[in-house]
C-alpha cells in the first residue's frame, strides 16, 4: 500500500478491509497481530479516535495518527415513530442521505440496513425505487449504521437482529455487502453477530443466491407476484433481468442448511395481486420449498399508484396459504407514521 504523506487525505481506517489493514500494518513494520487489535478497537469497542487504542504504544499511536483517522459518519438525525420505531437519517461524506430503521419488539431489537442510496431497481410499489440509484454504499458505510445505532442505545441494550431490507438491492452491491457481513459477523476481530440473526433480502438476483449461501446469512426473496406477467408489471427491471421461473428454480436449487428455511415476502396491493387466485398460484409456485411467507400489506406513500389491501383480503390470502400447509405471517408494518416502514424509505418525513 502506498503511504500517504501528511499533506494528502488521511487513510480512513474504517474503510479498509481486513487485507488492506494487514498491508498497512506490514507497511508500518508492525507485527501482524496489530491488525486484529486495531480492528477490535473499531468494531468491538467502537472507538472513534486512534488515541483510545490503549494497547498500542504512544509512539505507535502517533505514527498511525500521522497518516490515518477513523472516519465514522456524523451523528444521524433520529425520527421517532409513535410505535417506538426509530428512523436514523445518516448524512454521508458527499452530502447524500441514507436511512436505517430500528424496530424494537419486546426483548428483540431489529435494525434494518440500507445498502445503496436509492436503488438499482424500479419496483412500482417502492418509494426508494422511484429515487433511482444515487450510488452504492461502501462496506464501512453499511457497518457504520450498526456501530452508530449501537452507540445510541442504553447500556445493556443491544441490537439482536440485522436485516438487509432498507434502501437498495443488496445483491446489486454484493462486494460491499459481503465485506460488511464479514465485519459484522467475525467473532475474532469484528462485531460478532451470529450469521443466523442476519437476513439478506433480494428482489430476485437469481444467479447471485449462491453467494448469499456462502455468506451463511438467511435469505429472503421478495416474490410480490403470482404470475410472470404480474411480476413484470410490478417489478419491471427485476423481472427483465431474471424472470419468475428462473427465480423459482434458483430458490429450489438453493443449498439451504438444515434447520433453516427461506423467507418469501409478498407485498399485498389492493386489486393487483391480493386475490384468492393469487394465493392459490403462490402456493403452487412455492410447493416443496422449505420456507415461510411474510405478507406485507402495502404501505402507502405520497402519490403511490397502489392502495392498501382490505383486512379481509389479507386474512383470506393468509388463510388459503395456511390451509396449503405454509407458515404465513402478516408483517404488521412499523414506523409508518414517519415513513419508516417497508418501501417508504427515501423521503425525510411524511
Q: Name the nearest CA neighbour of 201 among 257, 119, 135.
A: 119
Minimal distance, residue 169 CB to ligand SAH, in Å: 4
Residue 257, number of CB atoms within 10 A of its CB = 10
* Whether 119 is catalytic: no
| Contact status, residue 199 vs residue 161, Cβ threshold 8 Å | yes
Q: Which is nearer to ligand SAH, 14 or 101 (CB)?
A: 101
Sheet holding 86-91, edge to edge: 77-80, 86-91, 97-105, 108-112, 161-164, 198-202, 218-222, 262-268, 291-297, 327-330
Minimal distance, residue 305 CB to ligand SAH, in Å: 10
Residue from 202, 218, 230, 318 touching ligand SAH (CB under 6 A): that is 202
158-177 residues near ligand SAH, rule: CB under 6 A? 165, 169
| Contact status, residue 40 vs residue 55, Cβ threshold 8 Å | no
Separation CA 187–CA 205 (nearest Å): 29
Q: Would you give the DSSP letter of residue 190?
A: S
How many whole angstroms from its chain centre is CA 332?
A: 19
Residue from 76, 118, 190, 343 touching ligand SAH (CB under 6 A): that is 343
Judged by CB under 6 A, the stretch of 3-11, 200-208, 253-261, 284-292 that binds ligand SAH is 200-208
By CB under 6 A, is residue 118 in contact with ligand SAH? no
Q: Give the number of residues in contact with ligand SAH, rule: CB under 6 A.
A: 16
26-65 residues near ligand SAH, rule: CB under 6 A? none
| Contact status, residue 173 vs residue 164, Cβ threshold 8 Å | no
> Which grid cell sits at 91?
448524512
Judged by CB under 6 A, the stretch of 130-138, 179-187, 293-301, 319-327 that binds ligand SAH is 293-301
Q: Which is nearer to ligand SAH, 41 or 264 (CB)?
A: 264
Residue from 79, 299, 338, 346 touching ligand SAH (CB under 6 A): that is 299
Residue from 296, 313, 328, 338 touching ligand SAH (CB under 6 A): that is 296
Catalytic residue among 19, 99, 119, 175: 99
By CB under 6 A, is residue 145 in contact with ligand SAH? no
By CB under 6 A, is residue 225 in contact with ligand SAH? no
One DSSP character per residue, 261-322 reads -EEEEEEE-TTTT-SHHHHHHHHHHTTT--EEEEEEEPPP-TT-SS-PPPHHHHHHHHHHHH
> Which grid cell sits at 304?
403511490
Residues 5, 180, 348: CA angle, nearest 5 degrees: 95
Q: Which is nearer to ligand SAH, 283 or 344 (CB)?
A: 344
Contact track, ligand SAH, 240-269, x by CB under 6 A: -------------------------x-x--
| Contact status, residue 168 vs residue 120, Cβ threshold 8 Å | yes
* Whether 67 is catalytic: no
Minimal distance, residue 299 CB to ligand SAH, in Å: 4
Point out which residues bind ligand SAH (CB under 6 A).
125-126, 165, 169, 201-203, 222, 224, 265, 267, 296, 298-299, 342-343
Amino acid at each position: 500500500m502506498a503511504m500517504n504523506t501528511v499533506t494528502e487525505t488521511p487513510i480512513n481506517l474504517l474503510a479498509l478491509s481486513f487485507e488492506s489493514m494487514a498491508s498497512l500494518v506490514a507497511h508500518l513494520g508492525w507485527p501482524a497481530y496489530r491488525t486484529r487489535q486495531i480492528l477490535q478497537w473499531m468494531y468491538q469497542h467502537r472507538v472513534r479516535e486512534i488515541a483510545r487504542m490503549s494497547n498500542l504504544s504512544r509512539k505507535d499511536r502517533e505514527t498511525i495518527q500521522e497518516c490515518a483517522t477513523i472516519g465514522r459518519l456524523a451523528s444521524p438525525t433520529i425520527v421517532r415513530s409513535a410505535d417506538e420505531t426509530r428512523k436514523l437519517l445518516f448524512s454521508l461524506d458527499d452530502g447524500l442521505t441514507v436511512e436505517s430503521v430500528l424496530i424494537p419488539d419486546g426483548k428483540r431489537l431489529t435494525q434494518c440496513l440500507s445498502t445503496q442510496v436509492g436503488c438499482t431497481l424500479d419496483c412500482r410499489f417502492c418509494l426508494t425505487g422511484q429515487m433511482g440509484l444515487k450510488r452504492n454504499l461502501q462496506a464501512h458505510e453499511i457497518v457504520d449504521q450498526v456501530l452508530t445505532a449501537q452507540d445510541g442505545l442504553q447500556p445493556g441494550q443491544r441490537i439482536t437482529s440485522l436485516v438487509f431490507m432498507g434502501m437498495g438491492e443488496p445483491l446489486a452491491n454484493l462486494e460491499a455487502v459481503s465485506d460488511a457481513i464479514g465485519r459484522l459477523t467475525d467473532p475474532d476481530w469484528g462485531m460478532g453477530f451470529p450469521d443466523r440473526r442476519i437476513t439478506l433480502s433480494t428482489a430476485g438476483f437469481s444467479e447471485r443466491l449462491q453467494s448469499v449461501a456462502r455468506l451463511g446469512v438467511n435469505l429472503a426473496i421478495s416474490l410480490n407476484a403470482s404470475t410472470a406477467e404480474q411480476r413484470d408489471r410490478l417489478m419491471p427491471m427485476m423481472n427483465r433481468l431474471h424472470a419468475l421461473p428462473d427465480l423459482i428454480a434458483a430458490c429450489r436449487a438453493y443449498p439451504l442448511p438444515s434447520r433453516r428455511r427461506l423467507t418469501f415476502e409478498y407485498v399485498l396491493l389492493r386489486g393487483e395481486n391480493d386475490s384468492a387466485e393469487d394465493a392459490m398460484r403462490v402456493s403452487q409456485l412455492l410447493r416443496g420449498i422449505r420456507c415461510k411467507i411474510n405478507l406485507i400489506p402495502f404501505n402507502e406513500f405520497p402519490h403511490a399508484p397502489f392502495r392498501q389491501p382490505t383486512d379481509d383480503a389479507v386474512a383470506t390470502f393468509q388463510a388459503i396459504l395456511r390451509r396449503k400447509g405454509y407458515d404465513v405471517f402478516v408483517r404488521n408494518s412499523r414506523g409508518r407514521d414517519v415513513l419508516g416502514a417497508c418501501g417508504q424509505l427515501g423521503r425525510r418525513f411524511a
